[in-house]
Amino acid sequence: MSRAAETAARVSPTRLLRRSRVRWRVFTLLAGLGAVAYFQQKEVTIAAEQIMPQLSLSQMQIGWLQWAFVLGYTPTQILAGRVGEIFGARRTLTAACVIALAATIALPLAPRLLTGSALFAGMLLSQLLLGIAQSPTFPVGAGVVRAWLPVRRWAFASGVQSSALQLGAAATPPVIVLLMQRVGWQQALLWSAVPMLGVIVLWAWDARDMPRDHPGVNRSELELIGTSESAPVQPLAGTFRVLLRRDVLVLTFSYLSMNYVYYLLANWSFLYLVQERHLGVARSGWLAALPPLGAALGAGLGGAAADALAARYGARWGYRLIPLLSLPVVAVLLVVAVFHADALVAVSLLTLCYALIELNEGPFWAATMRTAGARTMTATGFLNTGGAAGGLLGIPVVAYLSGHGAWTAAFGLGSLCAFGSALGWLVIDCEARGESTAPRGSHSVRSGTDSR
């Protein structure tokens, strides 16, 4: 036998098989669902410029519409994660997104059917339903990341997913403003629902709960991902024990504090530029897109950096370093931004703050996934409950303060929350459970060097 033949005989058949890349296709669809979700969330804030005078609504009432979304979104996170563990990610997200699309369409149709207090109640109901429908997006999405990607890519994937969300948020101001100027706010919101439907159909057609269930995934890709089995559905008491772990609790409270700042920047930048900085609506629509663009860049970089730091220094310090360094800087820059006389400088500083906030998405989510293991959907549902609570508590506060012209106080409170969030990371340590969270039978594969 020739040397070439001997070499070929020793090569594993798996290594001769070209690896499929379905995992990234599924992840791209997941990110697309997140981008759609954020576009749906931010529409009302941008359309408020026309909604308020046309429907005689106050700024506080616009705040209540945002609050209704968070009211539906916040308490259903843990339940959404539990539903995802029972019914699987594909069916759960498909059903949830269809309901969210219906709620999105209902808002602009409400003025054609209702008037007066009934109209405002109908708008509140549509936002409440939208919040409930979107509650599975991120906890169930975390389960998709855990099932479809190697552990060394969890923070990166969480960061990239957040980048997609921010790109959706960044597209909202210019797109909605442009459509409103041409066809009015009602038609603008209706037309924006068309591409949303396309993403939902693609997810329902191509996604699977586990890689082994997808006909396009070959053996080589399964080995890279790890041939894990889906965790058996456990009784509620056993499932929720994960929520009492110290690291999960501290992560959740720290995430809550950080997300006051997130909601402040995500939901109120447009009105802040119009009302406090006295910029025109069209100009503010484009400038309001800058903070989410900075956030998109920050989320991707933060996830990649967290994975690299975790590989070098271990999960404890790898995930801890980014929040400890970035969040105190946010606390300082928020104060500088609101006191700076130049509006464009203020926009630049707010963009930087938003990017620094989003650096932390990968560390928060990957740390929770490592700590929770097979209970990832439930635990990240709890984490996102804390994140949404930052909005549930913060939105009426910002609406009240901004409605009375006290924008400085709203941003000052954000500075305190950013610093408090950083302090929580001094006690968070997910390294002790990092190895145990890898799916069974995947240790040798997940310690390899091929991470594409």
CATH number of the domain enclosing 244 = 1.20.1250.20
Q: Which residues contact 229 (CB under 8 A, 6 or more apart)?
A: 210, 439, 440
Q: Are the CB atoms for 249 and 243 separated by under 8 Å?
A: yes
pLDDT of 288 higher than 70: no
* Spatial CA neighbour of 34 closest among 320, 358, 327, 268: 358
Q: Is the pTM of this model over 0.75?
A: no
Q: Are the CB atoms for 394 and 263 separated by under 8 Å?
A: yes
The model's confidence at residue 452, banded by pLDDT at 50, 70 and 90, is very low
Q: Which residues contact 59 (CB under 8 A, 6 or more apart)?
A: 48, 52, 271, 399, 402, 403
Q: Is residue 11 part of a domain?
A: no
Scored b (16 or more CB within 10 A) or e, 100-121 reads bbebbbbbbebbeeeeeeebbe
Is pLDDT larger for residue 358 or for residue 166? 358
In one-letter notation, the amino acid at residue 378 is: T
Lowest mean pLDDT across 48-57, 332-341, 426-435: 426-435
CA–CA distance, 76 with 94 (Å, rounded to integer):
17
Q: Is residue 188 part of a domain?
A: yes
CA distances from 51 to 43, 48, 107 (A): 11, 5, 11
Give the chain's domain count: 1
What is the DSSP code string of 394-446? HHHHHHHHHHTT-HHHHHHHHHHHHHHHHHHTTS---GGGTGGGSPTT-HHHH
Q: Is residue 409 part of a domain?
A: yes
Q: Is residue 84 part of a domain?
A: yes
The model's confidence at residue 234, banded by pLDDT at 50, 70 and 90, is low
Q: Is residue 226 part of a domain?
A: no
pLDDT at 253: 94
Q: Is residue 135 part of a domain?
A: yes
Q: Could you list the residue range(s) of the whole structural domain that residue 44 is in?
A: 21-219+238-436
Q: Is residue 12 part of a domain?
A: no
Lowest mean pLDDT across 228-237, 248-257, 264-273, 324-333: 228-237
